[in-house]
C-alpha cells in the first residue's frame, strides 16, 4: 500500500525541494586524522545492523495501544473534554497520538539522512567525511524501520510537522558547513534521542521497545560525532560568529519545543474549533507534557554547553524554557546507558530464543520416542 493512502492529512507535495547553498569540499589530505574521530568511525562500521533481521517484526501491535502506557500520558486526560468523549473517540485519540509521534520520528530520520549526506559533502576533514558516511547509512535504516512500523503496525501516517520542517529548512539551506552539524546533530538528533529514551523506558510493548533501543544505540554515536567536530571548530570562532550560532540554537529550541504541541492531531480528529482550542489549552497546562518537554532537553542543553555556546543570553533562553538545570546532565553516562540497554535487550532476546529452541528440540525428540 502506498504511504500516501495512509496519511491523515494529504501532504502538500509528494516531494519537498529545499534549495541548498554552499560548496562541496574535496580534501587531498589522506593522513590518519583524529584518533577519536577514527575510533568513532570504526565503531560506526562495527555496529551496522539490518532492521529486517535484528527486529522481530512478527510481534503484534495494537494500533489503539501502541506503547501500552496509561492514559495519564495523554495531555487532555482528566479534562472535561476527555470526560465527554466516548470509548470510540478515546481509542482514536490513542491511535492518532501514537501515529503523530512516530510519523515525526520518521520524517526527522529522513531529514537526518539528508543532513548526514550534506555533511559528507561539505565538511573539510576526511575523518569527519568517513564517519558521516556511516551515519547516512544509519539514518536510512532508521527511516526504513519507522516507515515499516507505521505502515505495517499502526496503519496511519501524519505529514511532517511545520516546526520540524522549519528547522530542517534552516539547517539545510545555510551555506556554512557547520550548520547541518548544529541543526541536526545537536538540536534535532538531541531532542529525538531524548524522546526515544522516554518512550523506550515507559513502553510495555516489545516491538516499539526494540525499535527505540536499537535506534538509540546509533543515535548516541551521532551526537558524540557532532560534539567532537563542533567543539574543535567553535573554539576559534569570533564573537560575532558565535552569536550567530547561538541565535540559531535559541530559535531552533523554541521550534522544537512548540512542535510537541501536536495541534494537527486534534484538528484531524474532527473536533470543533472550540474543542481544538480546549485541547490546546489542556496541552499547555499538562503536567505530564511539562515534564516530558523538560526531559527532551536533557541531551540538547549539556551538548550546547559542551561545544562552547554558553553565553548569558543563551542561558537566559534556557531558563525561560525551564530547562537550564539540564546543563548538569552527563552526556557520556546517558550514551553509555543507551548502548548498554540495547546490548542487554539483544542478550535477553537471544537467550529466550535459545531456550525456546532447546524446548522445541526436546519436545520433538520426546514425540518421536513415544511414536516409536
| H helix intervals, the chain | 35-46, 51-54, 80-84, 87-122, 126-148, 162-173, 179-180, 189-202, 206-234, 239-259, 263-268, 273-285, 287-296, 300-306, 312-321, 331-371
**Cα–Cα distance, 4 to 252 (Å, whole number):** 29
Fold that domain 3-13+33-331 belongs to in CATH: Ribonucleotide Reductase, subunit A (1.10.620)
What is the pLDDT at residue 128?
Answer: 85
Q: So what's the pLDDT on residue 126?
A: 87
For residue 236, what is the DSSP state?
Answer: T
**What does the buried/exposed string (b/e) look like for 68-95 if buried means 16 or more CB atoms within 10 Å of the residue's CB?**
ebeeebbbbbebebbeebeeeebebbbb
How is 46-76 classified by DSSP, letter by letter?
HT---HHHHS-TTS---TTSSS---GGGSTT
- Render pLDDT for 26-62 as a digit per residue (tens, 0 to 9): 777 766 667 878 888 898 899 999 999 999 999 999 9
Inter-axis angle of helices 239-259 and 162-173, nearest 10: 160
CA nearest to 97, candidates 60, 135, 63? 63
Cα Dmax for the chain: 86
Closest CA to 140 of 17, 48, 203, 69: 48
From the list 15, 19, 300, 24, the residue with the least C-alpha distance to 172 is 19
- What is the tens place of the pLDDT at every residue in 170-191? 888 888 889 888 988 888 888 8
pTM of the model: 0.85
d(CA 148, CA 151) in angstroms, rounded, equals 5
Residue 194 near residue 297, CB atoms below 8 Å: yes
Which of 21, 24, 25 has the alpha carbon at shortest distance from 175?
Answer: 21
Structure confidence at residue 14 (pLDDT):
65
What's residue 3's pLDDT? 74
Q: Which residue has the cell 499547555?
A: 284
Quote the cell numbers at residue 60: 503484534
CA pair distance 216, 339, nearest whole angstrom: 8
Helix 87-122 vs helix 126-148: crossing angle, to nearest 10 = 160
- 47 neighbors 218 (Cβ within 8 angstroms): yes
Residues 6+ apart with CB under 8 A from 215: 142, 145, 196
**Domain limits, the chain:** 3-13+33-331
Q: Which residues of the chain have pLDDT under 70?
A: 1-2, 4, 9-15, 20-22, 30-33, 259, 353-369, 371-372
Close Cβ partners of 364 (under 8 Å, ≥ 6 residues apart) = none
Residues 196, 183 contacting (CB under 8 angstroms): no
Amino acid at each position: 500500500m502506498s504511504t500516501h493512502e495512509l496519511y491523515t492529512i494529504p501532504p502538500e507535495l509528494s516531494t519537498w525541494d529545499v534549495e541548498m547553498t554552499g560548496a562541496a569540499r574535496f580534501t587531498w589530505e589522506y593522513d590518519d586524522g583524529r584518533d577519536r574521530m577514527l575510533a568513532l568511525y570504526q565503531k560506526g562500521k562495527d555496529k551496522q545492523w539490518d532492521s529486517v533481521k535484528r527486529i522481530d517484526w512478527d510481534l503484534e501491535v495494537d494500533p489503539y495501544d501502541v506503547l501500552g502506557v496509561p492514559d495519564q500520558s495523554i495531555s487532555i486526560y482528566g479534562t472535561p473534554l476527555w470526560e465527554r468523549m466516548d470509548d470510540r473517540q478515546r481509542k482514536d485519540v490513542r491511535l492518532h497520538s501514537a501515529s503523530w509521534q512516530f510519523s515525526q520520528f520518521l520524517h526527522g530520520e529522513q531529514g537526518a539522512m539528508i543532513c548526514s549526506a550534506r555533511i559528507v559533502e561539505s565538511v573539510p576533514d576526511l575523518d569527519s567525511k568517513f564517519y558521516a558516511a556511516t551515519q547516512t547509512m544509519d539514518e536510512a535504516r532508521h527511516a526504513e524501520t519507522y516507515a515499516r512500523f507505521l505502515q505495517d503496525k499502526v496503519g496511519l501516517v501524519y505529514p511532517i510537522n511545520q516546526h520540524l520542517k522549519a528547522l530542517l529548512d534552516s539547517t539545510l539551506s545555510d551555506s556554512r558547513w557547520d550548520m547541518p552539524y548544529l541543526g541536526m546533530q545537536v538540536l534535532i538528533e538531541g531532542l529525538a534521542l531524548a524522546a526515544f529514551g522516554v518512550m523506550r523506558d515507559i513502553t510495555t510493548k516489545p516491538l516499539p521497545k526494540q525499535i527505540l533501543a536499537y535506534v538509540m544505540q546509533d543515535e548516541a554515536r551521532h551526537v558524540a560525532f557532532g560534539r567532537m567536530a563542533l567543539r574543535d571548530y567553535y573554539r576559534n570562532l569570533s564573537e560575532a560568529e558565535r552569536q550567530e550560532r547561538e541565535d540559531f540554537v535559541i530559535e531552533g529550541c523554541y521550534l522544537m519545543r512548540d512542535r510537541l504541541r501536536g495541534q494537527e492531531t486534534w484538528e484531524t480528529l474532527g473536533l470543533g474549533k472550540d474543542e481544538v482550542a480546549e485541547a490546546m489549552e489542556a496541552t499547555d497546562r499538562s503536567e505530564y507534557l511539562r515534564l516530558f518537554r523538560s526531559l527532551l532537553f536533557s541531551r540538547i542543553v549539556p551538548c550546547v554547553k559542551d561545544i562552547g555556546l554558553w553565553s548569558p543570553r543563551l542561558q537566559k533562553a534556557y531558563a525561560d524554557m525551564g530547562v537550564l538545570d539540564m546543563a548538569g546532565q552527563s552526556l557520556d553516562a546517558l550514551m553509555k546507558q543507551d548502548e548498554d540497554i540495547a546490548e542487554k535487550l539483544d542478550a535477553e532476546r537471544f537467550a529466550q530464543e535459545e531456550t525456546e529452541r532447546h524446548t522445541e528440540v526436546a519436545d520433538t525428540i520426546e514425540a518421536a520416542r513415544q511414536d516409536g
